[in-house]
């Protein structure tokens, strides 16, 4: 069998050596599309709790008497652990494989939500919803993205775009589902049902089969071997990308966390607001598709397009301070969802324009850690500003400033710096 493999060739003959190496065969289709569908569901379920957090806040305030500043810590810590867990998740995947890590992560998320059903104190909710569910989310969310890489090479952009629509589907399905469950069954029973739904993550993990390895005899240069160094950290573009990731996550959960409470305080029912997130999720999918098409056609300008989406996302938050009717919140969620789709896909694609391919996984891990720190600080800081100023619009002004700053960060280094690689044919023995 003959296939093409991209390799870097040394210009000197003295530094070459023959090596037998193992390469994972990526089918670029076939069962990979089944895995893509499974990972779409996986990402949908992984982000279900985070998508419903604002709805949970309003019911917890009524049922337990907690204040919003305190409750915002639940979602922030959950999100922070989900992203900062990328470092140990990658190591676990290398040691135990995608399938096992994904199944265990699903069981941990199930356990966290089930424990929350029997929790009435803030400390127990913090342990169950934030810490246990957050750690489980770290295993499922990151592994869901990595699973696509194991099955696709040339069609990876298409597969990633399709799989990440699961995040958008989560915004469509779960806010209204959570509102229905909480209204009909109460907090305890709703969390039991919700935990059972999350058990489907184990089914998603079962779909991912280990890939075959092919032995290849290749001529490589010692100076070009992939070394586990941190040279990519010196790249100014990557430094700014990591900073942008941190800033972006300071404000990305503000709409989900604050819109239900804001709308409720202005006479709009929580049930009605939860339905507006359905439209937001649909527009999120549309935003990903539009961004993916534009990015594929104008790949050199991915970072610039991403910056434009970030700026638009921030400016859209200025709609909320002037919103008092349901249709105004609908308008905001539709526009915000469209831009959010572009922002999320842009984050995943922009790093390919900033770092070399061999540093991609480590670069993603570092940026996810910074995103986790941003999620940890974002909503609690916005809630604190709201409490101190006594202004219910403070979180949205804060979000606008943060996103405009983020949009400006990457512009100086928004060109593609990936190096050209030669393509040669290799025979598989």
Please state which of the ranges 3-17, 54-68, 116-130, 344-358 shows the lowest mean pLDDT.
Answer: 3-17
| pLDDT computed for residue 414 by the predictor | 55
Angle at 81 between CA 161 and CA 175, to 5 degrees: 60
Task: Answer whether residue 47 is part of any domain.
Answer: yes
**Rounded average pLDDT over 384-392:** 84
pLDDT band at 420 (very low <50, low <70, confident <90, very high): very low
pTM across the whole model: 0.69
> Given its phi and psi angles, is residue 267 left (phi above 0), alpha (psi -120 to 50 degrees) or beta?
left
pLDDT of residue 250: 84
Note down the domain range covering 203: 17-414
Both tokens assigned to 203: 């089914």
How far is the C-alpha of 87 from the C-alpha of 282, rounded, in Å?
Answer: 32
Least confident of 192-196, 229-233, 240-244, 402-406: 229-233
Contacts by 89-95, CB closer than 8 A, 24 or more apart:
89/138, 89/139, 89/142, 89/143, 90/142, 90/146, 90/361, 90/365, 92/139, 93/143, 93/146
Tell me if 327 is assigned to some domain: yes
Span 363-390, mean pLDDT? 80
pLDDT exceeds cutoff 50 at 145 = yes
Distance CA 326, CA 266 (A): 10
pLDDT tens digits for range 176-192: 888 888 888 888 888 89
Q: What is the structure's pLDDT at 419?
A: 40
Helix/strand/coil (H/E/C) assignment for every residue in the chain: CEEEEEECCCCCCCCEEEEEEEEECCCCCCHHHHHHHHHHHHHHHHCHHHHCHHHHHHHHHHHHCCCHHHHHHHHHHHHHHHHHCHHHHHHHHHHHCHHHHHHHHHHHHHHHHHHHHCCCCHHHHHHHHHHHHHHHHHHHHHHHHHHHHHHCCCCHHHHHHHHCHHHHHHHHHHHHHHHHHHHHHHHHHHHHHHHHHHCHHHHHHHCCCCCCEEEEEEEEEHHHCCCCCCHHHHCHHHHHHHHHHHHHHHHCCHHHHHHHHHHHHCCCCHHHHHHHHHHHHHHHHHHHHHHHHHHHHCHHHHHHHHHHHHHHHHHHHHHHHHCCCHHHHHHHHHHHHHHHHHHHHHHHHHHHHHCCHHHHHHHHHHHHHHHHHHHHHHHHHHHHHHHHHCCCCHHHHHHHHHHHHHHHHCHHHCCCCCCCCEEEEEEEC
Instruction: Out of 73-87, 210-224, 272-286, pick the least confident.
Output: 210-224
**What average pLDDT does range 148-154 have in this prediction?**
73
Determine, yes or no, domain membership for 8: no
Least confident of 11-25, 55-69, 179-193: 11-25
Average of pLDDT values for 202-221?
61
Torsion sign (Cα): 265, 270, 275, 278 = positive
**Which is it for the CA torsion 44, 45, 47, 48, positive or negative?**
positive
Q: Model confidence over 310-335: pLDDT tens digits?
A: 888 889 888 888 888 888 888 888 88
Tell me what percent of the residues of the chain surpass a pLDDT of 70.
78
pLDDT confidence tier of residue 425, bands split at 50, 70 and 90: very low
pLDDT confidence band for 81 (50 / 70 / 90): confident
Beta pairing class for 2-7 and 16-24: unpaired
Mean per-residue pLDDT, 155-173: 77
Under the banding of pLDDT at 50, 70 and 90, the label for residue 246 is confident
**Residue 364 pLDDT greater than 80, yes or no:** no
Least confident of 213-217, 247-251, 353-357: 213-217
Question: Of 62-66, 209-213, 307-311, which range is least confident?
Answer: 209-213
Interatomic CA distance for residues 66 and 78, integer angstroms: 18
The total number of structural domains in the chain stands at 1
| Stretch among 105-109, 114-118, 148-152 having the lowest mean pLDDT | 148-152
Indicate if the pLDDT at residue 147 is higher than 60: yes
Is the pLDDT at 228 greater than 70, yes or no? Answer: no
> Which among 286, 259, 288, 289 has a CA at the least distance from the CA of 275?
259
Residue 3 falls within a domain, yes or no? no
Q: Is residue 29 over pLDDT 60?
A: yes
Domain presence at residue 426: no
In a domain, 420, yes or no: no
How confident is the model at residue 65, as a pLDDT? Answer: 78
pLDDT tens, position by position, 126-143? 888 888 888 888 888 777
Structural domain contains residue 9: no
Q: Pick the range with the lowest mean pLDDT from 17-21, 120-124, 271-275, 365-369.
A: 17-21
Confidence band of 303 (pLDDT split at 50, 70, 90): confident
Nearest to 310 by CA among 406, 419, 200: 406
pLDDT category of residue 4 using cuts at 50, 70 and 90? very low
The two three-digit tokens of residue 219, written as one number: 């001529």
Do the domain assignments include residue 255? Answer: yes
Token digits of residue 329: 């919140």
The pLDDT, as a whole number, for residue 207 is 81
Task: Give the CATH number of the domain where residue 152 resides.
Answer: 1.20.1250.20
Question: What is the rounded CA–CA span in Å between residue 426 and residue 3?
Answer: 6
């Amino acid at each position: 069998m003959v296939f093409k493999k991209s390799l870097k060739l040394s210009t000197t003959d003295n530094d070459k050596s023959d090596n037998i190496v193992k390469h994972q065969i990526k089918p670029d289709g076939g069962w990979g599309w089944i895995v893509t569908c499974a990972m779409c569901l996986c990402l949908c379920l992984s982000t279900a709790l985070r998508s419903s957090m604002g709805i949970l806040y309003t019911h917890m305030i009524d049922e337990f008497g907690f204040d919003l500043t305190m409750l915002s810590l639940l979602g922030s810590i959950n999100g922070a652990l989900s992203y900062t867990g990328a470092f140990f998740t990658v190591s676990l995947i290398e040691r135990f494989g995608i399938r096992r890590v994904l199944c265990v992560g699903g069981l941990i998320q199930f356990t966290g939500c089930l424990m929350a059903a029997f929790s009435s104190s803030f400390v127990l909710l913090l342990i169950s919803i934030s810490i246990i569910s957050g750690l489980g989310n770290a295993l499922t969310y990151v592994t869901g993205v990595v699973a696509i890489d194991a099955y696709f090479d040339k069609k990876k952009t298409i597969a990633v775009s399709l799989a990440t629509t699961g995040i958008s589907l989560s915004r469509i399905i779960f806010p209204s589902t959570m509102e229905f469950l909480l209204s009909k069954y109460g907090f305890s029973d709703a969390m039991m049902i919700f935990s059972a739904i999350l058990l489907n993550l184990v089914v998603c993990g079962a779909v991912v089969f280990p890939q075959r390895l092919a032995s290849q005899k290749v001529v490589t240069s010692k100076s070009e071997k992939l070394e586990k160094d941190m040279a990519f950290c010196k790249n100014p573009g990557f430094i700014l990308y990591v900073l942008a990731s941190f800033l972006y996550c300071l404000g990305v959960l503000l709409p989900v966390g604050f819109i239900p409470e804001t709308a409720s305080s202005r006479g709009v029912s929580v049930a009605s607001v939860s339905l507006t997130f359905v439209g937001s999720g649909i527009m999120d999918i549309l935003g990903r598709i539009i961004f993916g098409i534009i990015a594929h056609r104008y790949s050199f300008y991915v970072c610039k397009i991403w910056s434009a989406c970030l700026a638009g996302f921030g400016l859209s938050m200025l709609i909320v301070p002037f919103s008092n009717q349901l249709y105004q919140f609908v308008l905001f969620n539709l526009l915000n969802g469209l831009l959010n789709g572009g922002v999320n896909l842009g984050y995943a694609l922009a790093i390919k324009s900033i770092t070399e391919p061999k540093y991609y996984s480590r670069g993603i891990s570092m940026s996810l850690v910074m995103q986790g720190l941003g999620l940890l600080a974002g909503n609690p800081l916005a809630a604190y500003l709201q409490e101190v100023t006594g202004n219910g619009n403070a979180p949205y002004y804060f979000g606008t400033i943060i996103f405009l700053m983020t949009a400006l960060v990457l512009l100086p280094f928004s060109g593609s710096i990936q190096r050209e690689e030669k393509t040669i044919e290799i025979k598989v023995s």
